[in-house]
Amino acid sequence: MEELKELKTKLICEIEELKEKREKLFSDYYNLNSKLKEKKMEKEEILKKIRERKEKIKEILQEMKALKDESLKNDALLKDIKVSGNLEDLKKRIEDMEWYLQTGKITKEEEKRIILKLKEMMKEKKELEKLKEMKEKKLKIKSKMLELKNLLEENKKDKEKLLGELTKLKEEIKNYVKEKNEKFEELKKLSLNLLNLSLNLKKVKEEIISLNKELERKEEERRRKKEEEILSKLIQEVKNKLERGEKLSFDELKILYMDKT
């Protein structure tokens, strides 16, 4: 009986210890689960940024291609322009010639010659203006191309950095998943141990109850036998007293009556 009680106490202590351990494991498991969700959200955010960078890089490359095509077209047109000279000097010469044409005393023949020369100079001016415009455009394209190259490099660096963060995050997620699975398996094992201990405790309790009943039955039987022995002894004493012709008391008569019943 004492061994069973000691076993019961031991089982209860072990169960309580396992319950505490299980609570801690549950807490660790759910904490890991929360961290895992956070890391997955971080991963999605990084993937989104990577997609944005890729799209931006694609747009920049398309714009650079368009600028390159435009630059080649502009260079081809520049080659077709054969004029050279200073545009501002030409403008001054035209102004002087126009002023001379309007204010100078010239012959009809000289007027025709000046007008013809002005037409040639105006044509040259138009070509020089076009040349200037195309050179300015070339510089703008070059400047824009440089700006796009810098932007492209910046986005590529950002993308590489994000890919590095993604690789690191994937490793963290992998470790969290592994740890979470380990905790889950540990929980399963612990829960099984807890179940077995609970079943053992139940069995021990049933054995203690059964043993107590048996002890109570034996104690009752012992008490009953003792009472029977005492009663038998009393009856015999009353009978002896009666045989000796002694007067019996009321209680003694009752004892004698009990024997007859």
Domain 2-254+256-260 has CATH 1.10.287.2610: yes
Q: Kindly tell me if the per-residue pLDDT of 50 is higher than 80.
A: yes
**Maximum average pLDDT range among 12-16, 99-103, 222-226:** 222-226
Looking at residue 12, its pLDDT comes to 80
Mean per-residue pLDDT of the chain:
85
Encoded amino acid at 116, one letter: L
Residues 6+ away with beta carbon under 8 Å from 166? 43, 46, 47, 50
Looking at residue 261, its pLDDT comes to 52
Determine the average pLDDT of the residues in 236-255: 80
Q: Kindly tell me if the per-residue pLDDT of 107 is higher than 70.
A: yes
Tell me the per-residue pLDDT of 179-237, one tens digit each, with 9 for 90 and over. Answer: 889 988 988 998 898 888 889 888 988 888 888 899 899 999 999 999 888 888 888 88
Helix axes 108-243, 250-260, angle to 10 degrees: 100
Per-residue confidence band for 16, with pLDDT thresholds at 50, 70 and 90: confident
Looking at residue 259, its pLDDT comes to 62
Tell me the per-residue pLDDT of 74-97, one tens digit each, with 9 for 90 and over. Answer: 877 777 666 666 778 878 888 888
- pTM of the complete model: 0.55
Alpha-carbon span 169 to 190, nearest angstrom: 31
| Lowest mean pLDDT segment, chosen from 159-163, 243-247, 253-257 | 253-257
Looking at residue 84, its pLDDT comes to 67
Q: 156: closest CA among 57, 69, 75?
A: 57
Residues 6+ away with beta carbon under 8 Å from 74? 134, 137, 138, 141
Are 32 and 176 contacting, i.e. CB atoms less than 8 angstroms apart?
Answer: yes
Determine the average pLDDT of the residues in 102-115: 83
